């Protein structure tokens, strides 16, 4: 991979909580315009990995840079260059869509005219024109999800982290959300996605499969299917876990 294209790199990144190792020596490189998936069951270490890369959680050991910034020494610079959508939507239910966007614009330090410009652009991009003045609590979950993504991208960051973004929404809303993810990546941004939905791994350019804090596979979905001789990512996942359990 061309070093000039790499925007996120980790080397043996590790996080322990007491005697429990949540992330165990993970090394990855991710380039511009890539949709990179962390696939694994709940508790596999996906969220811990994302939080370390976002500068929200100090690693126990290892190294990493995000957008060229060191995750130990330059966390504030990292936060200014990423968008982060957590598992639980961090939206204010008693604010309208417009008010939520304006609030987050203020947090990101955008000027008033820039907030208005970005607000109108994002509302159109995520398809919420008809809901602009509705309170967030009145929106279906799928639309709250779109709004959360819009708020995460309000300051036009080069890297977007989405932690279990489609959890709890119906299949139609999931498909619509993935269309937004593709558009985001096509604009040149890196999109990190954690998911436990095996079918969503098919939508990623590359997938890292995690189990018990360790990286057990990393490649394109097609390469992983060829490697294991399986037809779906669900079967790939099961096959890799069986092989891992057997070897242990």
CATH number for the domain that contains residue 55:
3.40.50.300
Instruction: Let me know whether 148 and 202 are in one domain.
Output: no
Per-residue pLDDT tens over the stretch 125-150: 778 888 888 898 888 888 888 888 88
Task: Compute the half-sphere exposure of residue 139: CA atoms within 13 Å on the CB side of its CA.
Answer: 29
Instruction: Let me know whether 101 and 212 are in one domain.
Output: no
Instruction: Let me know whether 162 and 63 are in one domain.
Output: yes
Instruction: Let me know whether 148 and 195 are in one domain.
Output: no
Instruction: Let me know whether 107 and 181 are in one domain.
Output: no
Label residue 231 exposed, middle or buried (CB < 10 Å: 0-12, 13-18, 19+): exposed
Instruction: Let me know whether 4 and 43 are in one domain.
Output: yes
Q: What pLDDT shows up at residue 89?
A: 59
Instruction: Let me know whether 21 and 60 are in one domain.
Output: yes
Q: What pLDDT shows up at residue 174?
A: 83
Tell me which of 172 and 88 has the higher pLDDT. Answer: 172
pLDDT at 2 exceeding the cut of 60 = no
Is residue 36 domain-resident?
yes
Instruction: Let me know whether 105 and 165 are in one domain.
Output: no
pTM of the entire structure?
0.88
**Mean pLDDT value across residues 48-66:** 95
Domain ends where: 156, 179, 207?
156
**Mean pLDDT value across residues 227-234:** 94
φ and ψ at 30, to 5 degrees? -130, 135
Is residue 225 domain-resident?
no
Could you tell me where the beta strands, DSSP code E, fall in 164-242?
190-195, 206-211, 214-219
Instruction: Let me know whether 77 and 165 are in one domain.
Output: yes
pLDDT at 93 exceeding the cut of 90 = no
Instruction: Let me know whether 151 and 162 are in one domain.
Output: no
Q: How far apart are CA 143 and CA 55, in angstroms?
A: 28
pLDDT band at 91 (very low <50, low <70, confident <90, very high): confident
Most confident of 63-67, 111-115, 197-201: 63-67
Question: Domain containing 132: what range?
Answer: 93-156
Per-residue pLDDT tens over the stretch 152-161: 888 889 999 9
Instruction: Let me know whether 2 and 49 are in one domain.
Output: yes
Cα distance between the two ends of the chain: 32
φ and ψ at 2, to 5 degrees? -60, 125
Q: What pLDDT shows up at residue 88?
A: 65
Is residue 226 domain-resident?
no
Q: Longest Cα pair distance anywhere in the chain, in angstroms?
A: 59
Tally the domains of the chain: 2
């Amino acid at each position: 991979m061309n070093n000039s294209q790499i925007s996120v790199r980790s080397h043996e990144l590790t996080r322990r909580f007491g005697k429990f190792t949540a992330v165990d020596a993970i090394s990855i490189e991710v380039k511009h315009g890539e949709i990179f998936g962390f696939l694994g069951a709940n508790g596999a270490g996906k969220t811990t990995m994302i939080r370390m890369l976002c500068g929200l959680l100090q690693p126990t050991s290892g190294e990493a840079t995000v957008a060229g910034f060191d995750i130990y020494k330059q966390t504030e610079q990292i936060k200014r260059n990423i968008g982060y959508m957590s598992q639980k939507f961090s939206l204010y239910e008693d604010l309208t869509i417009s008010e939520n966007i304006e609030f987050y614009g203020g947090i990101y330090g955008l000027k008033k005219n820039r907030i208005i410009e970005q607000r109108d652009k994002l509302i159109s991009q995520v398809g919420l024109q008809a809901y602009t003045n509705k309170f967030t609590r009145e929106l279906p979950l799928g639309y709250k999800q779109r709004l959360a993504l819009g708020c995460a991208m309000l300051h036009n960051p080069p890297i977007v982290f989405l932690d279990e973004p489609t959890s709890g929404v119906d299949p139609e809303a999931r498909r619509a959300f993935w269309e937004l993810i593709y558009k985001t990546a096509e604009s040149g941004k890196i999109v990190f996605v954690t998911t436990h939905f095996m079918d969503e791994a098919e939508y990623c350019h590359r997938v890292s499969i995690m189990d018990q804090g360790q990286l057990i596979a990393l490649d394109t979905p097609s390469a992983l299917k060829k490697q294991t001789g399986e037809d779906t990512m669900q079967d790939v996942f099961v096959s890799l876990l069986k092989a891992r359990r057997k070897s242990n």
